[in-house]
Amino acid sequence: MSQRSVMNKASLGLGYVSSDEGVTKEWLAGGKWEVEVAMKRYPIDIQLGAWYDPRNEEVRA
């Protein structure tokens, strides 16, 4: 499932990863992550925290 972000005019997506050794923040931060769309790979950034902005700091920026 993906959604268009009004704030940064980019597509957002949700994904899951797994590892036989377990998944840690360090493992996620040290990885090179890509998503494949229509047989083409694109580099992506990961978001470990919630996209929720309770103080509306991003909206007011």
* DSSP state string for the chain: -EEE-TTTS-EEE------TT---HHHHHTS--EEEETTEEEE-----S-S--TT-HHHH-
Q: Is the pTM higher than 0.75?
A: no
Provide CB contacts within 8 A for 11, sequence distance 6+.
2, 3, 4, 5
Could you tell me the residue ranges of all domains in the chain?
2-48
Tens place of pLDDT per residue across the chain (61 aa): 455 555 666 677 788 889 999 999 999 989 899 989 899 999 988 888 777 777 777 667 6
